[in-house]
Structure formats: C-alpha cells, structure tokens
A and B are shown apart, each in its own frame.
Chain A
Amino acid sequence: QQQVKQSPQSLIVQKGGISIINCAYENTAFDYFPWYQQFPGKGPALLIAIRPDVSEKKEGRFTISFNKSAKQFSLHIMDSQPGDSATYFCAAAGANNLFFGTGTRLTVIP
C-alpha cells in the first residue's frame, strides 16, 4: 500500500510558469514532510521540508503548502527554469522511516 500518493506522474511547464506537484497521505502520525529533487544519475537531494504545525514554507522560488485537515501537501515552483527539470519526490516521515511518493518528472521548456 502506497503510504504517500503523488501526482502528476509527469509535468511539462513553460519557462517562467508555475509548477505544482501534489501529495496526499493517510497516516496522521507522520510529522515531517520533505521534498526531494533528483537529477539523472544522482541520488535524491533535500529541497525543502515542512512540519505540520505550519501551513506554508517558502525558500526562494520553492513553496510547500500544507493542509493538515485534508492530509495533503503540495510543492509550488515559481518562475520555473529549465534547470529545475528533474524528478521530484514528496515524502512523509514516521519515527524511523521515510515514505516516498512515486515521483513527478518535471520538464521546463525554454
């Protein structure tokens, strides 16, 4: 059973546009929600993370929106750039483990 559901599977955005990736979870014990960015041939790298006591976290062009009651969170990439083209994974952490979504392949067209 997939602990974290992620959509869309792939996303194509024009340069300068907004990229939005959505995730949902069921386990209310999750207490940490990171997003990872993965370039081809590399391991995932932490991009931004949020705890459920806040509804939004922004770091540069990247924003996490968190809706605790709906058990949903999303990543917004503002002013998307070709260098943002990568696979993005949302995740949710329990006490010891990190559960991943299935990934979104983002392509930003120049």
Chain B
Amino acid sequence: DVKVTQSSRYLVKRTGEKVFLECVQDMDHENMFWYRQDPGLGLRLIYFSYDVKMKEKGDIPEGYSVSREKKERFSLILESASTNQTSMYLCASSFFHRGQGVGYTFGSGTRLTVV
C-alpha cells in the first residue's frame, strides 16, 4: 500500500521555537506539497517541490521554509513558531501524467499547537 507518512500526529511547541515537520513518501513521486488546513478556509498551499532541492512558494509561505534533500522526503520548517501557526498540517505527493500533476496522496496530518 502506497503511503505518505508524517512523522508526528500531534505536536505542542512554544512560541519562538524552531519546528520541523517531516514527510516521507514511498511512491517515487516527483512532486511534494505542504498544506495547512483550517476550519472554513480549506487547504491552503504553503510550499511545494517538484524535484530534489527545488522549492516553490505556495499561497501562504510567510513564516515557513522547506527542505527537500532526497526525493522521498520533504520537510516543513517553522523558523520561529507563533500562535497563528497553530493548525493541521498536511503533506501530499503527486506525479506527472501528460504534463499534469495527478495522483495526489495525502498523509494523515500533523496537528500542531503553538502555546
């Protein structure tokens, strides 16, 4: 069974801490994504990567950075966590088919609380 695995289901961090969220996929997908999910706002794209060491900003990149050193792993970094970053974070991966990203598969999410 193909999987996207997020390292933590729940995290509680203090304001100002540096936070790492890890995501690993075993499908050999080219593309990987980080979304945050908030009630009434749906899923908003933070960053994505279509290749190793490549990254692109999504809709809400402020306060976040990412790292993709290996194809299967995509990390989201909160440089200095703030309470407004309390959210559910979802990692996803996809592949290209006919020039189109398809086959989006999501992890189970990490619920981050910043206190």
Task: Name A residues whose Cβ lies closer than 8 Å to a Cβ of B.
Answer: 6, 9, 31-32, 34, 36, 41-46, 49, 89, 91, 93-103
Q: Which of B4, B58, B90 contacts A97 (CB 8 A)?
A: B58
Q: In angstroms, how far is the closest chain B Cβ from the Cβ of A100?
A: 4
* Cβ A43 vs Cβ B101 within 8 A: no
Q: In angstroms, how far is the closest chain B Cβ from the Cβ of A107?
A: 15
CB-CB under 8 A from A6, the residues of chain B are 42
Closest residue of chain B to A98, judged by CB?
B104
CB-CB under 8 A from A42, the residues of chain B are 108-109
Q: Which of B44, B90, B102, B106 contacts A93 (CB 8 A)?
A: B102
CB-CB under 8 A from B105, the residues of chain A are 46
Q: In angstroms, how far is the closest chain B Cβ from the Cβ of A57?
A: 14
A101 to B43, CA, bound (A): 8
CB-CB under 8 A from B99, the residues of chain A are 95
* Cβ A98 vs Cβ B107 within 8 A: no
* Cβ A97 vs Cβ B48 within 8 A: yes
Q: Which of A32, A45, A89, A95 contacts B43 (CB 8 A)?
A: A89
* Cβ A43 vs Cβ B90 within 8 A: yes
* Cβ B108 vs Cβ A32 within 8 A: no
Question: B residues 44-91 with Cβ under 8 Å of A?
Answer: 44-45, 48, 50, 56, 58, 90
CB-CB under 8 A from B48, the residues of chain A are 96-97
- With A44-B43, A96-B56, A102-B41 as contacts: A32 and B106 at CB distance below 8 Å: no
Most buried by A among B31, B44, B48, B101: B101
Q: Which of A34, A41, A44, A99 contacts B90 (CB 8 A)?
A: A44
